[in-house]
Amino acid sequence: MKCPKDRPYDLIKKVYKILQPFQKMLIGFSGGLDSTVLLHILTKIRRLRRTNMELRAIHINHNLQKKSKLWEFHCKKICELWKVKFLSRNVIVRSNDGGTESASRAVRYKEIRRVLLPREVVLVAHHIDDQAETFFLSLKRGSGPSGLSCMRFITPFYDTKIIRPFLSFEKRQLKRYAEMNNLSWIDDESNFKDIFDRNFLRIHVVPILNDRWPYFTSSIFKSAELCRKQEELVSELIEPYFLNVLDHKDGTLKIKKLLNFSAVKRDAVIRRWFKFHNLSNPSQRQLHALWNNVIFTKRDSQPELIVSNRQVIRKFQDSLFCCKKFIEFDEDDLIWNLSDDITLPGDLGRLTVSYGRRMYSQKEGVINRVRKPRVDEIVFIRFKIKRKKKVRVVGQKNRSMKEIWKQHKIAPWMRRRIPLIFYDSKLITMLDYFVTEEGDVSPSVENDQVYIRWIK
């Protein structure tokens, strides 16, 4: 007896209903069965419903298989046949602690983000079977309700959303649709190698469970949904406590206030903080390391916990900071002609410059206004300055750099990552923090002022 969902038009109706609010869509298109069915359904909706749907497909070539170029060519031809704009990106995957699958996923979504258009949503073809595998992998890691809630139909993705229209459908239903519509797709040979955890579950575990209990994967989907609702309730209850310990200016967490909570509440608040900074949910091991190796260290120490390839958690005074992992760089002086923009070393961003009187919006961030250098003055960008050096900030008395760092709560690891503009040996400005009397300019002198913006 056929399941009603096996009827192709039911699949089309369900996808159409989910995607009705959206017009611009970018489909992650591997060329496999699942994404081929999704792309075919979208082109059918576009034709049958005569909508203004704007479709693009992106294929990420991870260069992990010998046939990867052939797969890319296959995807391009399918898109040409179905009149869908095709994008392809070649990437290099460097395996990390989470393995090749995790590294591939990170690179894939990074490339997707780069090509997104305004108001465009991302569509991926995950289904119930994928959800079941993710559930088991979360169990293996000892995850709580947050991890066990697995994937969601709609997930925030920077300024847009990732949508999974097939999340309530099984793989067999997608395969039946593909066969009834005579679709061709790629079979990735690596999917049949059980050395990968997900493949092991797909090949050896889930089929046995489904044979014993035919609706097992559907039950996992329901359990994941219950975990999601439980997690949403916890998040709702914990939010006031989180906001109370969060510094809204710099996104740091106030340790003293955190210590007033019970251990269970503290961990929940930290998980919420990880989410606030777009980090993966912390494991129990990470939470343990954070408390013992970072929070409970001496006040003047500089401990850190690496939580991803690009992020690290540090402690300064009584606050926890979530920072980018630093790229070491040569701290030698840079000479700047102050006529062109300049890229800073160490992934510190770039400086832009403009002259004369100008208006700017708050969206542009801090604009540093200083006097124009004299003809005989050389402009330097430096990153090192002695802590005892006396500086006279505009409108203030002489103070040491140590006192200024303390006033602005600038952590030790940031002190050599803030550009300092010098004219010859005279400090003019520490960008985004202060201008010295040597660099001050009268607002009425239109042709004697320079505007410097630090784009991080």
- CATH code (residue 97): 3.40.50.620
**Same-domain check for residues 172 and 298:** no
One-letter amino acid at 255 equals: I
**Phi and psi torsions of 342, nearest 5°:** -135, 140
The DSSP annotation for 56-115 comes to EEEEEE---STTHHHHHHHHHHHHHHTT-EEEEEE-----BTTBHHHHHHHHHHHHHHHH
pLDDT by residue for the chain (456 residues), tens only, comes to 344 445 666 788 889 999 989 999 999 999 999 999 999 999 999 988 767 889 999 999 988 888 889 999 999 999 999 999 999 998 888 765 556 777 788 889 989 999 999 999 999 999 999 999 999 988 887 777 877 888 889 998 988 999 999 998 999 999 999 999 999 999 887 778 888 888 999 999 999 999 999 889 889 989 988 998 998 898 899 999 999 999 988 899 999 999 999 999 999 999 999 989 988 888 888 899 999 899 988 766 778 898 887 789 999 888 999 988 887 777 788 999 988 899 999 889 999 998 765 544 444 556 788 999 999 999 999 999 999 999 999 988 999 999 999 898 898 888 999 999 999 999 999 999 999 999 998 765 656 888 999 998
**Same-domain check for residues 255 and 118:** no
Domain termination residue (choose one: 324, 349, 368) = 324
Q: Which residues are annotated as a binding site for ATP?
A: 30-35
Domain termination residue (choose one: 160, 192, 225) = 225
Here the CATH number for the domain that contains residue 310 is: 1.20.59.20
232 belongs to a structural domain: no
DSSP bridge partners of 434: 430
**Same-domain check for residues 213 and 273:** no
CA dihedral sign, ordered 62, 63, 68, 74:
positive
**Same-domain check for residues 107 and 200:** yes
Provide the domain count of the chain: 3
**Same-domain check for residues 39 and 186:** yes
One-letter amino acid at 80 equals: E
**Same-domain check for residues 309 and 161:** no
Which long-range contacts link 280-288 to residues 24+ away (Cβ below 8 Å)?
280/307, 280/308, 281/143, 281/146, 281/147, 282/307, 283/141, 283/142, 283/143, 284/142
DSSP bridge partners of 156: 161
CA 289 to CA 287: how far, in whole Å?
5
Domain termination residue (choose one: 293, 324, 355) = 324
- The stretches of 316-397 forming alpha helices (DSSP H) are none
Crossing angle (nearest 10°) for helices 263-276 and 216-245: 90
270 belongs to a structural domain: yes
CA 14 to CA 153: how far, in whole Å?
12
Q: What is the residue range of 306's domain?
A: 248-324
Q: Which residues are annotated as a binding site?
A: 30-35
Q: How far is CA 424 from CA 246, 365, 386, 416, 431, in A?
A: 41, 27, 16, 19, 17
Query: 3-class DSSP state for residue 142?
Result: coil
Cα 73 to chain centroid distance, Å, stands at 29
**Same-domain check for residues 320 and 339:** no
283 belongs to a structural domain: yes
pTM: 0.69
**Same-domain check for residues 106 and 150:** yes
257 belongs to a structural domain: yes
